[in-house]
Amino acid sequence: MADLASRITKPSDAPAADAAPAAPAATATAADSTAAEKPIDDGANSVGLVQSTYDVEVKLSDLQADKDSPLYSGVSSFEELGLPKEINDGLLAMNFKKPSKIQERALPLMISDPPTNMIAQSQSGTGKTAAFVLTVLSRVDFSKPQQPQALLLAPSRELARQIQGVIQTIGQFCQNLVVEAAIPGSISRETGVRASIVVGTPGTVMDLIKRRQFDVSQLKVLVIDEADNMLDQQGMGDQCVRVKGLLPKTVQILLFSATFPDKVMNFARKYAGNANEIKLRHQELTVKGISQMYMDCPDETKKYDVLCSLYGLMTIGSSVIFVRTRDSATEIQRRMEADGHKVSALHGAHEGQNRDALLDDFRSGRSKVLITTNVLARGIDVSSVSMVINYDIPMKGFGDKEPDFETYLHRIGRTGRFGRVGVSISFVYDHKSFEALSKIADHYQIDLVQLSPDDWDATEKKVQEVIKSSRARPDYAPNALGN
Ligand SMILES: Nc1ncnc2c1ncn2[C@@H]1O[C@H](COP(=O)(O)OP(=O)(O)OP(=O)(O)O)[C@@H](O)[C@H]1O
């Protein structure tokens, strides 16, 4: 307990009012309905950490000029990286003016010949997707639009569809670009894969290759997004190993994630031999634009009441509520709706097209509060998300002994994207949850701001300060999916 208490930010610890808001800081597959869900093929005492008064004045371009920011770029434009004109035109259409740090550092290494493998780490929301998408687009021969040349693997159907959208948008000026999603139900059994770029989940991709509906003989690039999760031996590691075993030996392998725990890193190095590596130091992992807070709930049953009290704040922007199981997602949705709140719930028990529709509604703002499981913890990019709630602290496994450090970071990373600011609120209610959050705070060396359910005025003030400044950021580039 004392650990977390010692990490509560006191007013005197808060950053000076002229500090930049989003400079870098110290910096889970199908389960039964009651088990913790992971994505798989089918998942105060302080003033606010970020002050609205200065946030509105700080522009994305300022952040991209700050050497310490993960959005920093040493070059003044993408053109300096030597990408083909039609790709630069796509970036311009997206209003991407300058590369971020990971884009500037990784791209030249990835697009050069002979192709070299890459293991790349960068904080959540810093543009990893465009980094590997640009590499893929620069390697594809568009005169063979139906010949698979690049394969991208992601841990959930939602992330695979999102990446497909980014490729289509950045590649909108590439003649004959054909991108298909290899997710359950998407590829016709009669035709099989007929695209130069395929984005899929490992199980479906494996099935298509085995049924000879996906010709992998001319694949040049394999990208694994969320690679630490995908290569984890407890999860999809086996499938990823089998997929790689079926590809040409010359394939260039690109592994990307915001987190690479040591034990997975060792395996990643074997998976992508002789790779260039771009790694972050431990204390660089979290994103400073995210104000991390926690709510000390009186007991487990009161967590629900506290959640409902936060509803007004959740709907200033958009919010994601992470819970441990599919059952609790459904149950909380039922109760909140019965209490008059408009919320939706998305998890792995839902049928694929229903999941797609739910996420599309959330992206477009038709729904503003989404209850979900770890299935959406990673990669999902919805720029309007200003609040993330950890209703349940992420834990490693069924024994519930250790917190899941990586999942915590990915969950809160659904807000604070590319220089924006956002709030995460983690609920604690007993010794175990308190201790788990303490360990997370220690692990990332972060100061968590305490919120009290007994002082709503103070809570509202702290949260609103951040969220309102988030909405005010003036020059955020709209992304591929119309966020
Ligand atoms: N150079 C750029 N200029 C402006 N916006 C950018 C640039 N690169 C990426 N973005 C935008 O930043 C947002 C976050 O990018 P992206 O989804 O690639 O993050 P990520 O690093 O993959 O995060 P995660 O670790 O959560 O998967 C997206 O909305 C994207 O459109």
Q: Tens digit of pLDDT for each residue in 136-184? A: 999 999 999 999 999 999 999 999 999 999 999 999 999 999 999 999 9
Angle at 409 (CA atoms; ends 36, 414), nearest 5 degrees = 90
**For range 451-464, the mean pLDDT:** 92
**Residue with the larger pLDDT of the pair 233 and 446:** 446
Residues 6+ apart with CB under 8 A from 483: 363, 381, 382, 383, 384
How far does the centroid of ligand 1 lie from the alpha carbon of residue 479, in Å? 8
Quote the Cα angle for 123-411-57, to 5°: 55
* Cβ count near 182 (within 10 Å): 30
Q: Which atom of ligand 1 is nearest to the CA of 94?
A: 31
Instruction: Give the tokens for residue 459.
Output: 């809570």
Six-digit token pair at 56? 């509105």
Whole-angstrom distance, CA of residue 181 vs CA of residue 198? 6
Q: Which of 422, 423, 312, 424 is nearest to 368 (CA)?
A: 312
Give the single-character DSSP code of 16.
P
Rounded CA separation 293/449 (Å): 4
Quick check: CB of 384 below 6 Å from ligand 1?
no
Q: Tell me: pLDDT of 274 over 60.
A: yes
Question: Using a 6 Å cutoff on CB, does residue 130 contact ligand 1?
Answer: yes
SS (H, E, C) 124-166: CCCCHHHHHHHHHHHHCCCCCCCCCCEEEECCCHHHHHHHHHH
Predicted pLDDT at 52: 29
Q: 419 C-alpha to center of ligand 1: Å?
A: 10
Task: Select the more confidently predicted residue: 16 or 124.
Answer: 124
The pair of three-digit structure tokens given for residue 54, joined into one six-digit string: 């200065």
Region 62-80: what's the mean pLDDT? 74
Which residues neighbour 240 within 8 Å (Cβ) at sequence distance 6 or greater? 153, 202, 224, 230, 231, 271
Whether the CB of 293 sits within 6 Å of ligand 1: no
At 257, the pLDDT band (50, 70, 90 cuts) reads very high
Predicted complex ipTM exceeds 0.90: yes
Tell me the per-residue pLDDT of 224-256, one tens digit each, with 9 for 90 and over. 999 999 998 777 899 999 999 999 999 999 999
Evaluate: CB of 165 within 6 angstroms of ligand 1: no
124 CB within 6 A, ligand 1? yes
Q: Report the distance separating Cα 229 and Cα 28, nearest Å.
A: 7
Residue 378 contacts residue 226 (beta carbons within 8 Å): yes
Mean pLDDT of the chain: 85
- Ligand 1, atom 20: nearest CA belongs to which residue? 125
H helix and E strand count, the chain: 18, 14
Give the model's confidence band at 36: pLDDT under 50 very low, under 70 low, under 90 confident, else very high.
Answer: low
pLDDT-derived band at 110, boundaries 50, 70, 90:
very high
What pLDDT does residue 9 have? 44
Specify the pLDDT at position 6. 56
Indicate if the pLDDT at residue 403 is higher than 70.
Answer: yes
CA separation for the pair 470, 357 (Å, rounded): 26
Model confidence at 284: pLDDT above 90: no
SS3 label, residue 290: strand
Ligand 1 pocket test target in 64, 83, 92, 126 with most atoms within 8 Å of CB: 126
Q: Tell me the pTM.
A: 0.87
The shares of helix, strand and coil residues in the chain, as percent rounded to the nearest 5, are 40, 15, 45
Structure tokens at 227: 């690679």
- DSSP category for residue 79: G
With a pLDDT cut of 90, the percent of the chain lying above it is 71
Q: Which of 259, 418, 470 to mutate to test the pocket of ligand 1 (most atoms within 8 A of CB)?
A: 418
Question: b/e string for 76-107 if b means 16 or more Cβ within 10 A?
Answer: eebeebebeebbbebbeebebbbbbbbbbbbb
**Nearest ligand 1 atom, CA 78:** 1
Ligand 1 contact, 379 CB (< 6 A): yes
**pLDDT per residue over 426-443, tens digit each?**
999 999 999 999 999 999
326 lines ligand 1 (CB under 6 A): no
pLDDT number for residue 4: 60
Residue 292, both tokens = 């991390």
pLDDT at 28: 29
Q: Residue 127: CB within 6 Å of ligand 1?
A: yes
Partnered with residue 385 across adjacent β-strands are 318
Q: What is the pLDDT of residue 32?
A: 34
Query: How does DSSP classify residue 36?
Result: B
**Tokens describing residue 145:** 């639009």
pLDDT for 429 equals 96
Q: Does the beta carbon of 117 sit less than 6 angstroms from any atom of ligand 1?
A: no
| Ligand 1 pocket residue status of 413, Cβ below 6 Å | yes
> Given this model, what pLDDT does residue 61 score?
65
Beta strand 179-182 with 150-153 is: unpaired
DSSP SS3 for 177:
coil
Query: Does the beta carbon of 96 lie inside 6 Å of ligand 1?
Result: yes
- Give the other-Cβ count within 10 Å of 73's Cβ: 22
User: Do residues 111 and 83 lie in contact, with contact meaning Cβ atoms separated by under 8 Å?
Assistant: yes
pLDDT score, position 60: 64
pLDDT tens digits for range 329-356: 999 999 999 999 999 999 998 999 999 9
* Arithmetic mean of pLDDT, 374-380: 96
The rounded Å distance from CA 454 to ligand 1 centre is 37
Q: Which of 66 and 1 is assigned the larger pLDDT?
A: 66
Q: Is the CB of 381 under 6 A from ligand 1?
A: yes
pLDDT (mean) for 19-32: 30
Say yes or no: CB of residue 37 within 6 Å of ligand 1: no
Residue the block writes with tokens 């093929």: 41
- Alpha carbon of residue 434 to chain centroid: 25
Angle at 107 between CA 412 and CA 137, to 5 degrees: 95
- For residue 2, what pLDDT is reported? 41
Residue 90 near ligand 1, beta carbon < 6 Å: no
